[in-house]
């Protein structure tokens, strides 16, 4: 393995608009970027909350190789069975032992070995197991099971501090760490001192005229009344947001990080 390879990581796909945007735009985006691996966070693909077999199958059919998720992956009936049956559909690895599914995918693509880790934060979220310690365990496991693999991390978390802290904790041990969950693409892409590519949040692949993918009028009423009004995915034109990480295939170091908006 020599030269450089590119990984395209796409932010939270929200509802039918996000799915349509990917269906139309992912192929051209992969061709224009030369990405060898496509990782998409799909936890909001089904109506804005959760993911079903139909959505997962569609994502895989258009060239997505690994689907990551987060706390909303459990929203739909049958999620446990779906996670157990789809090894390339991940849930955060730091849920307690015995939870269905896996948080690690090992695969080959574009002449390189890859490992994709899915983790979830704890600040302002559920107090699940420690993502730092779980990351240590998985990085050690990858070194044994797939030595030389390029390691990507989707850290599904609310806190910027927690995202940056985990990135520095793993700096030099993973090729790239990108945050998801907030649905707002950040502008802090950079390469950390030991060679790990970083972006606090990939952003949302979903409807533009919305509040983080939800109908704006519903969010306004929730804010004004403080009533638990049911949230619904917005409609209309959507955009794809994410990041492209260019990696040295031999050392695993990140050479370039570029935000994606399509």
**Which pLDDT does position 20 carry in this prediction?**
95
Q: Which domain holds residue 182?
A: 4-261
CATH classification of the domain holding 38:
3.60.21.10
Is there a catalytic annotation at residue 72?
Answer: yes
Q: What's the pLDDT at 210?
A: 87
Q: What is the pLDDT of residue 2?
A: 58
204/212 Cα distance (integer angstroms): 7
pLDDT string in tens for the chain (262-residue length): 459 999 999 999 999 999 999 999 999 999 999 999 999 999 999 988 899 999 999 999 999 999 999 999 998 889 999 999 999 999 999 999 999 999 999 999 999 999 999 999 999 999 999 999 999 999 999 999 999 999 999 999 999 999 999 999 999 999 999 999 999 999 999 999 999 999 999 999 999 988 888 888 999 999 999 999 988 888 999 999 999 999 999 999 999 999 999 9
Count of structural domains, the chain: 1
d(CA 88, CA 64): 10
CA 164 to chain centre: 16
The three-class DSSP label of residue 116 is strand
Burial class (CB in 10 A: 0-12, 13-18, 19+), 76: middle
């Amino acid at each position: 393995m020599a030269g450089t390879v590119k990984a395209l990581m796409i932010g939270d796909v929200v509802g039918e608009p996000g799915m349509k945007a990917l269906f139309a735009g992912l192929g051209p985006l992969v061709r224009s970027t030369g990405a060898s691996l496509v990782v998409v966070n799909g936890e909001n693909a089904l109506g804005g909350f959760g993911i079903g077999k139909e959505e997962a199958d569609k994502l895989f059919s258009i060239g997505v190789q690994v689907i990551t998720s987060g706390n909303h992956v459990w929203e739909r009936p049958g999620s446990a069975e779906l996670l157990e049956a789809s090894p390339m559909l991940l849930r955060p690895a730091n849920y307690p032992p015995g939870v269905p599914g896996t948080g690690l995918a090992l695969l080959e693509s574009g002449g390189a070995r890859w490992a994709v880790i899915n983790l979830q934060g704890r600040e302002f979220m559920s107090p699940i197991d420690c993502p730092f310690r779980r990351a240590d365990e998985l990085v050690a496991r990858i070194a044994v099971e797939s030595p030389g693999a390029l390691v990507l991390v989707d850290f599904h978390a609310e806190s910027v501090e927690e995202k940056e802290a985990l990135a520095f904790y793993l700096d030099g041990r993973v090729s790239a760490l990108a945050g998801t969950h907030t649905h707002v693409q950040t502008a802090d892409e950079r390469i950390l001192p030991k060679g790990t590519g970083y972006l606090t949040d990939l952003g949302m692949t979903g409807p533009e005229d919305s509040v983080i993918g939800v109908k704006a009028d519903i969010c306004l009423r929730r804010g004004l009344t403080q009533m638990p009004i049911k949230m619904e995915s917005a409609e209309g034109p959507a955009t794809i947001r994410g990041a492209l990480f260019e990696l040295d295939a031999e050392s695993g170091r990140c050479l370039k990080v570029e935000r994606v908006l399509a």
